[in-house]
Amino acid sequence: MSEIDRVFAGSIPELYERYLGPLIFQPYAVDLAERVANSKPGRVLETAAGTGILTRALARLLPDTIEIVATDLNQPMLDFAAAQPGTAGVAWRSADALSLPFPDRSFEIVACQFGAMFFPDKIAAYREALRVLRPGGSFVFSVWDRIEENEFAGVVTTAVGALFPADPPSFLKRTPHGYHDATRIRGELAAAGFARVTVEPIEHRSKAAGYRDPAIGFCQGTPLRNEIEARDAARLDEATDAAAAALGARFGFGPIDGKIRAHVITASL
């Protein structure tokens, strides 16, 4: 994974939240939060919290007596998340998932929504999740399935790539959709010390009010923007327009919907 893949700064957090939050993240946040709530935990740790989409879902579903500690390594994302309404009782902490600043056996649940793909050493991150879990606790997280199963991301990647044929930006395929092999995931969790692992594919329909919304979200609200600007900073709007045109041609020039698919993983001792 390129270092640029982990840079969420400038206007990216706001655009990420505005355009991609309801588009692709919210359905999985509700699902993951319900799984956490059903386990009736006493204390919950969220890693790679991003703009706090899962955090807010957890805060809505869990009783006020349950402590939620939300962490992220990326300070601009964490600052944005902490400023959003609906998280008054959440404890925010800057933390690296590969080296968590918490004692052993501190939490009943560790949760992570679409963050594991960004961990440079996944086994190390999984070992840390296991270390801070109390006996009987679980690590619950989600990762995207391959890009071919996520229609908007696939169309955007192809459209933007056509503008830079000599060096097509590949962030979406390489990182968010680059960690989808269930056998690999199971193996890395086992290597970290987890004994029981379930991997469940979950499919939704992603709905956008306008065909341009996913183009703006992906091209300007993710590190795909960094890749485009690294090739030619003057072509960001052109790339966004090209992605929007491709989405309109595929799904219609109005409200659109497309398939999204992810894996939800539960790991325990």
Q: Would you call 269 helix, strand, or coil by DSSP? A: coil
Structural domains of the chain, ranges and CATH numbers in brackets: 3-268 (3.40.50.150)
Name the residue type at position 36: V
Contact by Cβ (8 Å): 132, 65: no
Nearest to 177 by CA among 159, 155, 198: 155
Measured CA distances, 185 to 79, 122, 146 (Å) = 30, 9, 13
Nearest to 171 by CA among 238, 231, 226, 120: 226
Query: What are the 10-residue block averages of pLDDT along the chain, 269 residues in total?
Result: 63 93 97 97 97 97 96 93 93 97 98 97 98 97 98 98 97 97 98 98 97 98 95 97 98 98 97
Look up residue 245 and give its two tokens.
């045109």
Q: Write down the pLDDT at residue 5.
A: 55
Dihedral pair phi/psi, residue 21, rounded to 5° = -55, -65
Measured CA distances, 150 to 37, 81, 157, 166 (Å) = 27, 25, 11, 25
Look up residue 120 and give its two tokens.
């440079």
Name the residue type at position 254: G
Q: Which secondary structure element, helix H or strand E, spans residue 45, and what is its range?
A: strand 43-46
Contact by Cβ (8 Å): 262, 156: no
Q: Would you call 233 helix, strand, or coil by DSSP? A: helix
Condensed to tens digits (0 to 9), the pLDDT of residues 103-152 reads: 999 999 999 999 999 999 999 999 999 999 999 999 999 999 999 999 99
Helix 236-251 vs helix 151-163: angle between axes, to the nearest 10 degrees? Answer: 130
Q: Write down the pLDDT at residue 3.
A: 62
Quickly list DSSP for 20-69.
IIIIIIHHHHHHHHHHHHHT--SEEEESS-TTSHHHHHHHHHS-TTSEEE
Residue 180 falls in which region: left (phi positive, over 0), alpha (psi -120 to 50) or beta? alpha
Contact by Cβ (8 Å): 111, 140: yes
CA distance 110 to 35: 12
CA distance 145 to 151: 11
Dihedral pair phi/psi, residue 230, rounded to 5° = -65, -30
CA distance 65 to 80: 24
Q: Write down the pLDDT at residue 10.
A: 82
Measured CA distances, 47 to 42, 70, 203 (Å) = 17, 6, 23
